[in-house]
Each structure stands twice: as C-alpha cells, then as structure tokens.
C-alpha cells in the first residue's frame, strides 16, 4: 500500500500534502460533492435497474454501456469518503490504506469511463464512416469477456504516474476529435439515404465530447499547471493552483450525472425504457411521441409505431 503512494510522489514529481490551503474552499467543495452524491446515487441506481431488469443489456448489445454505469456507480460510492475528508480540512486521508484505496478506485473508475466512452465513439465511427466494412468494435461489444479484459487492462493504469494521468485524457480525446470530425464530414456529404441515423451518430459522439470537455480536460490542464508550479517551487502560487485543481477534480465527478445522456443518445431503446418506467404520463407521451428512429412511409405507420415500439422495448 505504501509503495502505491510513494510511486505517486516519485514518478509524478508532485508531492500531495494532506492539509488544505483554504478551509472555506474545501467546505464549499464538500457541499458540491454532497449535491453530486444526492443526485447521482438515485440516478445511477435507477439506470442500473433499467439496464438489468427492464432493458436487459446482455440481449441488446449494450454491454459497454452497462460497464460505464458500473464505473459511475462505483464513483458515486466513493464520494462520501471525499466529502468526509474535505469537511475535516484534509485533502486526502492520512491513513495510507484508505488513501491508496481511494486513489485506486478513482483512477480505475475514471479510466473505465474513458475507455468505454471512447469504444462507443469508435463503434459509431466505423458504423458511419466505414459502413459496409467489418466493424470489430461491434463484435467486441457483444462479448462480456472483452469488457472484463478492459477492466483488467486498466488495473496497472491506476498507478497515478504523470504519463498515465495525461495519456488517459490526451490520447482518447484525440481519438474522439478525429471520430467526431469524420462523422460530421460524412453527414455533410450525405445527400440521400437515412440522414437521421447519421445525426443520431453525431449526437452520440458529441455527447461523449461534452463529457470529456466538461469533466476530464479542465482537471488535466490544471494538473499540468500544478506540475509546473511545483517544479518551480512557487509555494504561494501552488496554494492557489491546488485549490483550482481540486475544484476541477470535484467538477469532473459530474460525469456520473452526464453519462445517462450518452446512454440515451447511443441507444434509443434505453431512452424509451427509462422514460416509460420513471416519467409521469404527460411527459412520457410528449417525449416518446416522435419515434423518429422507426422508418415510416405513411402517417398511419408512424402513429402505430409510436404506440407499439415503446411497449415492445419495455416488455423485453
């Protein structure tokens, strides 16, 4: 356990201190995390319920989406510990075992969310840009074994070295930008055919880009600034940058609230199942009325599809 923490300090060149530089800042951050926990726990429990009992993810090629749900739920479960630390004016636990376990869980959940989100983006990319060719990602996402292997592969990446911290963000974000650019370009060049399908692919990839831009990129940039400040031994500036970094890390936990939007864009069946289960009838009828994901030729077919398809998804 001690080796893990010492690895963090020596390989990153960043020695994280337990004491907070400003009590008021961390009191506020603790309440922000409390809000994330209060909203995130029921939301992620409801999403888990839908995926397991109503949507049955293993039958709907949604194994990767389910893994993101698991990662988000584990992240939410870690928040009370962080809240306790910040309420008691410490940035992390002075107990090496607790500190190591928290670092492990946060890095594992962050890595899993990023890995599966990028895999979903690649699936949309191959399905749209290279339509007609063999999509290996589509084959992989049907196999639970591949998901297990991804989790196992992420285990050594939980050691918070500087290279791992940045490569976890920079490389996936580069892939995401490339996929988004190619899909948007494909949509602009599409003159005939199902443009609605391409638009849904764009929305799916853009929703992943929003999660990255809001949750992961800012904290990564702040981490780079913190490294520079510490290497230059600028103590006064470091106290400010540490607070900025910790604030952005707290905001990065918002991915457990934003990811359900990704599920809705990536799988219309999940959206229908969730709305049909938890939304009141007035909102349910309004949100499920445009069943645009069903190809139709007449008004009669459209109306019947909007009534039948939501029921079929929920009954599975």
Residue 44 has pLDDT above 90, yes or no: yes
pLDDT at residue 305, rounded to an integer: 39
**Higher per-residue pLDDT: 199 or 249:** 249
pLDDT at residue 266, rounded to an integer: 79
**Quick check: 254 and 36 in contact, CB under 8 A?**
yes
What does the pLDDT average to over 10-20?
Answer: 57
Residue 313 has pLDDT above 90, yes or no: no
Q: Which residues are 19's β-sheet partners?
A: 90
If we measure between CA atoms, which residue out of 214, 221, 304, 311 comes closest to residue 272?
311
**Quick check: 71 and 113 in contact, CB under 8 A?**
yes
3-state secondary structure of 90: strand
Alpha-carbon distance of 182 to 75, in angstroms, equals 32
**Higher per-residue pLDDT: 186 or 158:** 186
Residue 165 has pLDDT above 50, yes or no: yes
Confidence class for position 292, pLDDT limits 50, 70, 90: very low
pLDDT at residue 11, rounded to an integer: 42
What does the pLDDT average to over 292-312?
Answer: 38
Name the residue ranges covered by the structural domains of the chain: 2-270, 279-316
Cα–Cα distance list, 265 to 132, 296, 304 (Å): 22, 21, 23
pLDDT at residue 31, rounded to an integer: 96
pLDDT at residue 17, rounded to an integer: 65
pTM of the model: 0.78
Fold of 2-270: Rhopdopsin 7-helix transmembrane proteins (1.20.1070)
């Amino acid at each position: 356990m001690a080796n893990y923490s010492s690895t963090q300090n020596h390989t990153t060149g960043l020695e994280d201190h337990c004491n907070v530089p400003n009590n008021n800042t961390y009191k506020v951050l603790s309440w922000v995390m409390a809000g994330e926990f209060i909203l995130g726990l029921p939301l992620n429990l409801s999403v888990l319920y839908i995926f397991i009992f109503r949507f049955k993810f293993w039958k709907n090629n949604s194994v990767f989406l389910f893994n993101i749900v698991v990662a988000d739920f584990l992240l939410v479960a870690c928040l009370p510990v962080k809240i306790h630390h910040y309420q008691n004016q410490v940035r992390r636990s002075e107990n090496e075992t607790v500190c190591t376990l928290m670092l492990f869980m946060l890095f594992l959940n962050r890595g899993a969310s990023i890995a599966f989100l990028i895999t979903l983006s690649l699936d949309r990319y191959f399905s749209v840009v290279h339509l007609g060719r063999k999509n290996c990602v589509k084959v992989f996402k049907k196999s639970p074994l591949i998901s297990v292997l991804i989790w196992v592969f992420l285990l050594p990446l939980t050691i918070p070295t500087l290279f791992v911290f940045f490569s976890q963000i920079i490389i996936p974000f580069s892939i995401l930008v490339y996929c988004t650019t190619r899909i948007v370009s494909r949509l602009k060049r599409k003159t005939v055919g199902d443009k609605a399908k391409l638009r849904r692919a764009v929305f799916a990839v853009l929703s992943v880009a929003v999660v990255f831009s809001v949750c992961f990129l800012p904290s990564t940039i702040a981490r780079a600034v913190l490294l520079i400040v510490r290497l230059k031994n600028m103590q006064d500036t470091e106290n400010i940058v540490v607070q900025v970094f910790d604030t952005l890390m707290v905001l990065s936990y918002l991915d457990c609230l934003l990811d359900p939007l990704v599920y809705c864009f990536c799988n219309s069946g999940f959206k229908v199942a969730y709305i049909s289960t938890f939304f009141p009838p007035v909102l349910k009828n309004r949100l499920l009325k445009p069943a645009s994901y069903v190809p139709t030729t007449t008004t009669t077919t459209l109306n019947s599809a909007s009534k039948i398809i939501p029921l079929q998804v929920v009954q599975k």
